[in-house]
Structure 1
Amino acid sequence: MSSDMVLVDGIPFPPEITTTKPLPLFGTGLTDIEVHFLQIKYNAIGVYLEETVAEHLGNWKGKKGCELAENDDFFEAIVSAPVEKCIRIVVIKEIKGSQYGVQLESGVRDRLAAVDKYEEEEEEALEKITEFFQSKYFKTDSVITFHFSATPLTAEISFVTEGKGESKIKVENANVVEMIQKWYLGGTRGVSQSTVKNLAEKLAEKLAA
């Protein structure tokens, strides 16, 4: 294992991945819940963004990371920035893919409904994503990757688990793609607050440089 890997709860993430261009790691965190004072960790998360994302965040220069973490407008600007983004998720606690698919569908559908953008096309796109995860089993160390292109706004979702080849699905409904980003990068409403806080701190440093 390369020594420059970034460890998230002991799970290695490369400091940079290359899609059509190099995307540096800008934020890391976990999805977890606390049950009877025990922290149950589900996934480790890495957020990769184009360096040029900072050019779209000029309004927040000079702000501290802790301020940005509480500012949903800041994360709205990250999501709407026309740059490539990649979210890499590594499974810590085994679950059925169908469980993850239902959580994703519910989170995205609720966000779409809240802004009155949940129509037949969005429903169909979400159903395909749910079907994609339906047959999967998320063993520990399985990797789910969401790769978001900038223009047009599309997403490629890939899944890799031990002993099986990579499987992929393309999502071309821009409303659904936007809300998948917001599920993970939605500021105070994001599914992983540790990721949101870490991303805010790293971007605050980038904006101060």
Structure 2
Amino acid sequence: MIFRLDERLVFPNPELAEPDGLLAVGGDLSADRLLLAYSHGIFPWYSDDTPILWYAPHERFVLYPNELRISKSMKQVLRSGKFKITVNQVFEKVIDACSVVPREGQDGTWITNDMKQAYQNLHQLGHAHSYEVWQDDELVGGLYGVQAGRVFCGESMFSKVSNASKTALIALCQSGLYNLIDCQVHTEHLESMGARFITRADYLHILQGEA
């Protein structure tokens, strides 16, 4: 059963989500609603031609920072110093790039103007963060997401040159700030770096600080 949200700040139990993870329709993208959603393992994912859709997948594709796998070639890239990494310096530019630069498994078009504004609001409130990768003073890669306790809920990443998004993800994992990175969407690229599926119950335990 798919629930229809109204102005009340409430979500149905994530266990009631459809097999594809769809849980609810409607509501808004206010900071309070987004924070409530992420704290219960729920996130919005929709396009301009649909209402706001809220998902709570039965399995979560995640990366434990201590399980991160870095290939020998990637270690050489990191040692070379070709990239500079910053955090929260150009959040708006990162989300703009993510909306136009395709990434594996997605076409980027789901980041609507309303979504951009909503996550910029979360960033200004200190709940959304970006990792930026620079080469010769040009922004060539990065990622952004929402912090929910010790879980980083990754929203999107982009790369204009080879290995730039990988560098951003490695920096995120090595920051020491998070127990878990929620990757949301499965890709072979992320799986090769150590990401794997866990149950929603396990995810919620970590999200709620019980594991």
TM-score using structure 2 length: 0.29
**TM-score if structure 1 supplies the norm length?**
0.29
Which is helix-richer, 1 or 2?
1
